[in-house]
Chains A and B, each alone.
Chain A
Amino acid sequence: MAKIFCVANQKGGVGKTTTTVNLAAGLAKIGQRVLMVDLDPQGNATMGSGIDKRTMPLSVYDVLLESASVQEAAILADKCGYHVLGANRDLAGAEVELVEVERREKRLRQALAEVGGDYDFVLIDCPPSLSMLTLNGLCAAHGVIVPMQCEYFALEGLTDLVNTIKQVHANLNPDLQIIGLLRVMFDPRITLQQQVSDQLKTHFGDKVFNTVIPRNVRLAEAPSYGLPGVVFDPSARGSQAFLAFASEMVERIRSM
């Protein structure tokens, strides 16, 4: 059965989408069957996987509204090697349309249960706000991957996320746990980043992934070509780091 992970952080601009699409592509490259779910109405993870969010016939919105199944709505991103359950602005409507619906935060969980045997990994790119959409992601997941920049305010955002996860764990999804913190956009030349990185290791120990994703211009360029960096330029340092991270994830899941 598929292991389902949210890539989440309530702070914006920390590299959630970059992490999601590159981890998806990295896992696909090492032979894993992957579904990437975009839960952000901005649809950046969709576009970053080479799927045009404006012309998709069906999206995760239709799945949440139960007018389509995951199997019907998922599209193969053929250059990337994984399936995409995409998002576009329609998804913002789900916040309004599901407001009176019972168990609305479990819609994605129910839908993914039907395709659990088709994938090894499901990765969910969450929006930065704590919305009904994020709750759907957290209710569906076995764990959360938290990308973090090693900056002064990084830990502040983490406190909010940890509290949210605790509440979801207690009330909605007892399976949910933090799988690990991933240090991203890391620049070892900046002393503060090194210090924050060390602090993270001290506080969170094994919960910090060994892999560190460096700041890398090729990763930043890749979305404009509609590709994850891992596919756009596999030899780039950032891409190599995501491939290493994919292997680390597989190892970590084995021991879960």
Chain B
Amino acid sequence: MKPENVLILPGWQNSSPGHWQSRWVALHGWRRVDQHDWMRPRRGDWIARLEDVVLGCEGGDGSVVLVAHSLGCLLTAAWAQVSRSTARVRAALLVAPGDAERDELRPVLPSWSPIVRQRLPFPAILVGSRNDPYCRFERAEGLARDWGARFADLGERGHINAESGLGDWPEGLDMMKSIAA
């Protein structure tokens, strides 16, 4: 698979340079799906952008791997519900989904709730953390069940982001490779 066909889907406010997603982009040449507005994420806008990028992926059989974090996980589910291009997704790694249905997040992420819970039409692993401030552990498990994703318990790693001290996160990379092979 061409490196550009591994699509990195950051969450709200984008992933900082120390975030494992940004490190993976730098290390492997994978492609960050840049959104028009990271601060005011609009679901329709983000879905249209992902659709454009997937349709633009060439090389080999045109298949892609999605590597999502936080709101990027919700984007994956929302896009998969409506897109005609889901057959091109070989697999998805979904890390620390943000719970947009929480009272404090509903007003700032208005178009993202209710969360799309339709089963994903491609293999996926959802990685959850036991002390994620943006999603209770049980909620993450529930999303994995609804989406038909294998659940991986990462222990207490916060929001599994730059503050979690994961470095290049080789464990996550192994998980991704295990489903994308």
Contact assessment for B47 and A88 in the assembled complex, using a CB-CB cutoff below 8 Å: no
Expressed in whole angstroms, the Cα–Cα distance for A55 and B40 within the complex equals 9
Contact assessment for B110 and A90 in the assembled complex, using a CB-CB cutoff below 8 Å: no
Expressed in whole angstroms, the Cα–Cα distance for A98 and B44 within the complex equals 11
Q: Which residues of B contact A95 (CB under 8 A)?
A: 48
**Residue picked from A54, A61, A97, A99, most chain B C-beta under 10 Å:** A97
Of A55, A89, A99, A100, the contact of B44 (CB 8 Å cutoff): A89
Is A92 an interface residue when CB atoms closer than 8 A count as contact? yes
Is B119 an interface residue when CB atoms closer than 8 A count as contact? no
Interface of B is mostly: helix
Interface residues of A in 80-114 (CB under 8 A from B): 88-100
B67 CB to nearest A CB, Å:
21
Is A57 an interface residue when CB atoms closer than 8 A count as contact? yes
Contact assessment for B46 and A96 in the assembled complex, using a CB-CB cutoff below 8 Å: no
Given contacts A57-B110, A95-B48, A96-B51, contact A88 B42 (CB under 8 A): yes
Q: Which residues of A contact B110 (CB under 8 A)?
A: 57
Contact assessment for A99 and B40 in the assembled complex, using a CB-CB cutoff below 8 Å: no
Expressed in whole angstroms, the Cα–Cα distance for A73 and B3 within the complex equals 42
Given contacts A54-B37, A95-B48, A97-B47, contact A90 B82 (CB under 8 A): no
Q: Which residues of B contact A88 (CB under 8 A)?
A: 42, 45
Expressed in whole angstroms, the Cα–Cα distance for A97 and B49 within the complex equals 12
Interface size of B as a range: 10 to 19
Is B36 an interface residue when CB atoms closer than 8 A count as contact? yes
Q: Which residues of B contact A100 (CB under 8 A)?
A: 82, 84
Q: Which residues of B contact A65 (CB under 8 A)?
A: 44
Of A41, A57, A92, A97, the contact of B82 (CB 8 Å cutoff): A97
Interface residues of A in 95-153 (CB under 8 A from B): 95-100
Of A89, A93, A97, the contact of B37 (CB 8 Å cutoff): A89
Contact assessment for A89 and B45 in the assembled complex, using a CB-CB cutoff below 8 Å: yes
Is B118 an interface residue when CB atoms closer than 8 A count as contact? no
Contact assessment for A93 and B45 in the assembled complex, using a CB-CB cutoff below 8 Å: yes
B53 CB to nearest A CB, Å:
12
Is B43 an interface residue when CB atoms closer than 8 A count as contact? yes
- The residue in chain A whose Cβ has the minimal distance to the Cβ of B45 is A89
Expressed in whole angstroms, the Cα–Cα distance for A99 and B79 within the complex equals 12
Of A55, A57, A92, the contact of B45 (CB 8 Å cutoff): A92
Contact assessment for B36 and A89 in the assembled complex, using a CB-CB cutoff below 8 Å: yes
Q: Which residues of A contact B37 (CB under 8 A)?
A: 54, 89
- The residue in chain B whose Cβ has the minimal distance to the Cβ of A91 is B44
Of B36, B40, B82, B111, the contact of A96 (CB 8 Å cutoff): B82
Interface residues of B in 89-147 (CB under 8 A from A): 110-111
A105 CB to nearest B CB, Å:
16
Is B83 an interface residue when CB atoms closer than 8 A count as contact? yes
Contact assessment for B44 and A92 in the assembled complex, using a CB-CB cutoff below 8 Å: yes
A167 CB to nearest B CB, Å:
23
Given contacts A88-B42, A89-B36, A96-B83, 17 further A-B contacts (CB under 8 A): A41-B45, A61-B44, A88-B45, A89-B37, A89-B48, A90-B43, A90-B44, A90-B45, A92-B44, A92-B48, A92-B49, A96-B51, A96-B79, A96-B82, A97-B47, A99-B82, A99-B84
Q: Which 7 pairs, one residue from A and one from B, show the smallest C-beta to C-beta distance?
A: A93-B44, A90-B44, A92-B48, A89-B45, A90-B42, A93-B47, A93-B48
- 24 A-B residue contacts at CB 8 Å? A41-B45, A54-B40, A55-B40, A61-B44, A65-B44, A89-B37, A90-B42, A90-B43, A92-B48, A92-B49, A93-B44, A93-B45, A93-B48, A94-B44, A95-B48, A96-B47, A96-B79, A96-B82, A96-B83, A97-B82, A98-B82, A99-B84, A100-B82, A100-B84
Residues of B whose CB lies within 8 Å of any CB of A are 36-37, 40, 42-49, 51, 79, 82-84, 110-111
